[in-house]
Chains A and B, each alone.
Chain A
């Protein structure tokens, strides 16, 4: 434990890596949702950041208007956000499936503006407080750093959800139907499977994942209308780097980005916001289908 890496003692480095992993959890859950929606629906969901924000707000509203606490919010908020997503899909997105990707992107971009603008009007921009649930408060001294229980929970919860989703999509029959439906909806429909229903539920699921990330974020980042705005392009970058259709790619790249960002914050903190884009540019120019993607 006596050596130092570039002037940083190993304990500090370990601590930063662990923090990076925690942040990576958010990137993983968000990019999973985005990848699911893109991989299975071919929609570039620019509203993902706004829906993440909605998830956090729904959790806050459940607590402040209905007295429903964190643990229920973990289930209810994603369901509510997912339902809202389904509404969006039914009324607007479904009309664009036959058109260029571009239009889905523009539509969801517009939706993001609307959602963010509305929340900003009603709730202002300063954050709303949301307490860490009692069962998860406090923390443990790990020697190289003090790890708050809630942050440990974030890593566990997100990993569970991410790998659960991956398992469901890649290894179960339902997932197989979904994947088949993307490749050849008519054929799958001919087998008696309700493809539009499947598509609708998939979008809802992707959005619910964003909402889930929002609830996870609420106690530690302030609940404010802008929380998803600058995050969305970072999450895009993660999905692109991971490979746009690859579920596993999105999850792993999310965690990886968290780690890279964490390291950058130690050595060159000013650059921590731009490092992801540098990586994306490099990956796109060398291996455009992404690190885990399949070449088209």
Chain B
């Protein structure tokens, strides 16, 4: 048996390669802003999946990191005048910090209580986003400038911005892949499957849980920070608990515990919201139906079903 930690299986390499080529050609066929939105959410879902699918921990408050980073990055670009890559870095760092603080408190509990602690803190973050003067309350932070990358390349036009977003999100997803398929990832798997045994083997389970929490929050924050640069706006929607619910939907739909599942899930959900926007409340109904069918029939998610069919991990 080839251990998962030595190199990427050829199938995965092929999928990533095809995906990359597809994404590089995409902005010339599809509205680039829409494609960028899909990529940001794909990263967000992948980050969430790290915690849920691979860490076995369900967080109800991931919007806190996504949205929190979005606000910080927006503020950095608009008020401090930082260049995009520095603004994104600031946002991501903020999310990491938030993840550290909340995570260290949340991991003291298990199961549903863990989830409720994450929700409680996410609601507090929402409250702060609403009340603090620098976040703009209901208006959000608007008019975030699209600056010059590294001070040189202008990101005003959609195409250069697109490639920046592609580089960052694709890179982020590859990082997440690497984390999962590493010794650290193996230990996570052990903890998820049988925590007492992992403890008895001498692993500091709490430290691993905290690490995966922080990593998940960091990459979620990266997604949020980039999104604020694309849409030039950070708003309360990004920190609302419905956003936390949406990322669960994307992960469930695509397949928790698979690499490509969240990406597929994000693509489907964002596309659906975009094209069904004219149908108003029907989008909510359809999302609900997907949740229900997903839980009753396709618990592994679309990619999970595919993986089972192909008899290969995806």
User: Direct A–B touching in the complex (beta carbon < 8 Å)?
Assistant: yes
Question: What sequence of 0s and 1s flags, for each residue 256-296 of chain A, a beta carbon within 8 Å of any chain B beta carbon?
Answer: 00000000000000110110011011001100100000000
Stretch in B77-85, B109-117, B201-209, B212-220 touching the partner = B109-117
B130 — nearest CB in chain A belongs to which residue? A270
8 A-B pairs with CB atoms under 8 Å apart are A103-B295, A114-B285, A114-B288, A116-B288, A120-B281, A244-B112, A273-B127, A280-B120
Query: Is the pair B117, A281 in contact by a Cβ cutoff of 8 Å?
Result: yes
- Shortest beta-carbon distance, A204 to chain B, in Å? 19
CB neighbours of A96 from chain B (8 A): 295-296
Q: Does A237 contact B (CB under 8 A)?
A: yes
The chain B residue sitting closest to A106, CB to CB, is B295
Interface residue? A44 (CB, 8 A)? yes
Q: Is the CB of B109 within 8 A of A117?
A: no
Q: Which A residues form the contact surface with B (CB < 8 A)?
A: 44, 92, 95-96, 101-103, 105-107, 109-118, 120-121, 233, 236-237, 240, 244, 270-271, 273-274, 277-278, 280-281, 284-285, 288
Interface majority SS (helix, strand, loop, mixed), chain B: helix
Neighbouring A residues of B241 by C-beta, 8 Å: 233
Q: Does B27 contact A (CB under 8 A)?
A: no
Nearest CB in chain B to that of A96: its residue: B295
A274: chain B residues within 8 A (beta carbon): 123-124, 126-127
Q: Which of A44, A101, A110, A118 lies in contact with B291, CB distance below 8 A?
A: A110
Q: Name the B residues within 8 Å of A284 (CB-CB).
A: 109, 113, 116-117, 120
Residues of A within 8 A of B245 (CB): 109
Using CB atoms, name the residue of chain B closest to A270.
B131
Q: Given A121-B280, A233-B241, check contact A114 B116 (CB 8 Å).
A: no
Considering the chains assembled together, what is the distance between the CA atoms of A225 and B35 in angstroms? 33
* Chain B residues at the A interface, C-beta cutoff of 8 Å: 58, 105, 108-109, 111-113, 116-117, 119-121, 123-124, 126-127, 131, 241, 245, 248, 252, 280-285, 287-292, 294-296, 299
Q: 9 additional contacts, CB 8 Å, given A110-B287, A233-B119, A281-B105?
A: A110-B292, A111-B292, A120-B284, A121-B282, A121-B285, A237-B116, A271-B127, A284-B120, A288-B108
In angstroms, Cα B241 to Cα A271, docked, is 17
Docked Cα-Cα span, A278 to B127, in Å, equals 11
Does A106 contact B248, Cβ atoms closer than 8 Å?
A: yes
Closest CB-CB distance, A100 to chain B, in whole Å?
A: 9
Contacts A95-B296, A106-B294, A117-B284 given; does A240 touch B116 at CB 8 Å: yes
Question: Roughly how many angstroms separate A17 CA and B295 CA in the complex, as a whole number?
Answer: 43
Q: List B contacts of A116 (CB < 8 A).
A: 284, 288
A109 to B282 CA separation, bound complex (whole angstroms): 16
- Shortest CB–CB separation between residue A218 and chain B, in angstroms? 21
B212 to chain A, nearest CB (A): 17
Is A103 within 8 A of B127, CB to CB? no
Q: Which residues of chain A come closer than 8 Å to B248, judged between CB atoms?
A: 106, 109
Report the minimal beta-carbon distance from B137 to chain A, rounded to whole angstroms.
Answer: 11
Give every chain B residue within 8 A of A120 (Cβ-Cβ): 280-281, 284
